[in-house]
A and B are shown apart, each in its own frame.
Chain A
Amino acid sequence: MEIFILLQKAILYDFIQKALICGTLIAITSSLLGNFLVLKKQSLISDGLSHVSFATIAISLFLGLPPLFVSIPLVIFASILINRLGEKTNVYSDSAIGLVSAFSIAIGVIIVSINKGFNIDIYSYLFGSILSISFEEIILTLIVSIISIILLILFLNDLFLVTYDQDFASVSKINTKILNIIIGIIQSIIIVVGIKIVGAMLMSSLIIFPPITALQIAKNFKSMIIISLILSVTSVITGIFLSFIFNLPTGATIVVINGIFFIISFFLNKIEKIK
């Protein structure tokens, strides 16, 4: 009963409302996108890009510029760089992620150590801080999430084919290069806008966890998408409320809930196999 009253109270807070709106949109976009990245075995790029966003935020705070607006183009650039390194040079794809990710963190750490003044700010971006979402950041999240969701739905069937069989997709007159670029851009943008909720260190979990959890129990591709969407939105909403009630860090709470979902679905899958 007490929890119910606390929930009622929570929903009246302005910052909880903002977090719920942004969180739900980010949850939808990241899980939709995550299905394709996970199945293409490219989900770890998200982890690398999350780390890159730590550096880009440190740079923007250092220069006194709005962090999300500065980070979006820089993270898109990093995504192109990782792909190019893996495809066109003598660097393996997974190593390319490691190179760019570690280099970015190093840059971020050096900037933070030079400027001790914004340590609190950078902490809120590293681990998420729903209290500090600004009006501009909400508008930005709304716009980019809705555009991303529309694009992902419009290209859903094309993306399915590109993910399963790139050659057959090309023969089917699907422009695989453009689609891969669109995916890279959406991925970069959603990581940047998501870090205010989940934090740069944990943002990739929103892209990776729901699809992988859904994969354990899905009977077909359509059900994988639907299950991952439900799990993603549920984890974010529950995480926001639980973190408020028990005074826990929101991002970490969301990730732990996702972890619990994964463990449950993993064992459901095992039980079904035994049957």
Chain B
Amino acid sequence: MKILEIKDLNIIYQGYKILSNISFLVEKGDYIAIVGPNGAGKTTLIKAILGLIDINSGKISLTTDKIGYLQQRFFLNDPKFPANVKEIVKSGLLINKKFPKFYSRKDNDKVENILTKLDIKELENKIIGKLSGGEFQKVLLARALISNPEILFLDEPTTALDPVARDNFYNLIKDLNEKENLTILLVSHDIGSVGKYAKKILYLDQKLIFYGTFDEFCKSPDMTCYFGDISQHFICQRHN
């Protein structure tokens, strides 16, 4: 079942073409790794899908409004912000609420449940700015998941995580995709890792270079031409 379709998407920013003629289709239950070099337009693509930036032409149709979003930590780096973990996670419920948006007692239970599920219950009263990188990303994941989204957008969620925390985080996401059939779009520069976890790869470099499964990517002669033999198989991670 189709959950997201992008047709002929073009984005121009200050005279520069950031994304050019992007078209692809996402099915429910897909786990897509969006990879590409710096400046490839990965974050721009996600922001365009979420309606955070204007597009110049093309069509984006998202068939659900149940969206989860986890952005790069860099943009939320205020160690003085006084909110605790419970308050941050609870704010993820606002997407399902109508004006005036007040919380109920049931909402506190939902917070407790999601914190327990992600194994971060002990952090609930900690100030958000005082968490470690791994803890912080799990809290943002809890905030993105608390509203029961059908599609989850993750923008570089493992930047600044150590390798162990990074693998734990990827395993958690993989579980959500496999056990709960949550559709996932993951932006990452971590080309060597995502192949172990995601089902499909979308390689972007201002235009769409490749979209398909990792196996298809691995066997594609076009990709051998584009990346060379070594890089192609480093990305696909199918030969470990």
Contacts and interface: CB of A to CB of B under 8 A. Distances in A.
B82 interface: yes
A144 interface: no
Contact of B76 (A160, A164, A215, A220): A164
B95 A215 contact: no
A164 B91 contact: yes
Contacts of A164: 76, 78, 81, 83, 88, 91
B102 interface: yes
B67 interface: yes
Interface string B69-97: 10100011010111110111001101100
A45 B84 CA distance: 27
B87 A168 contact: no
Nearest to A173: B95
B82 A161 contact: no
Interface string B94-134: 11000111110000000000000000000001010000000
B125 A171 contact: no
A30 B80 CA distance: 21
A221 B95 CA distance: 20
A152 to B, nearest CB: 11
Contact-residue bracket for chain B: 20 to 34
Contacts of A215: 80, 82
A171 B67 contact: yes
Contacts of B60: none
A174 interface: yes
A221 B52 contact: no
B50 interface: yes
Interface centre among A165, A168, A170, A220, by most chain B C-beta atoms within 10 angstroms, is A168
B51 interface: yes
B88 A157 contact: no
B82 A160 contact: no
Contacts of A157: 91, 94, 101-103
Contact of A161 (B50, B91, B100): B91
Given A167-B75, A168-B69, A220 B84 contact: yes
A116 B77 CA distance: 51
Contacts of A275: none
Nearest to B50: A171
Nearest to A211: B82
Given A219-B125, A220-B87, A221-B87, A172 B52 contact: no
Given A220-B84, A222-B87, 12 more contacts: A157-B94, A160-B87, A161-B94, A164-B78, A170-B50, A171-B52, A172-B91, A172-B92, A215-B82, A219-B82, A219-B125, A220-B127
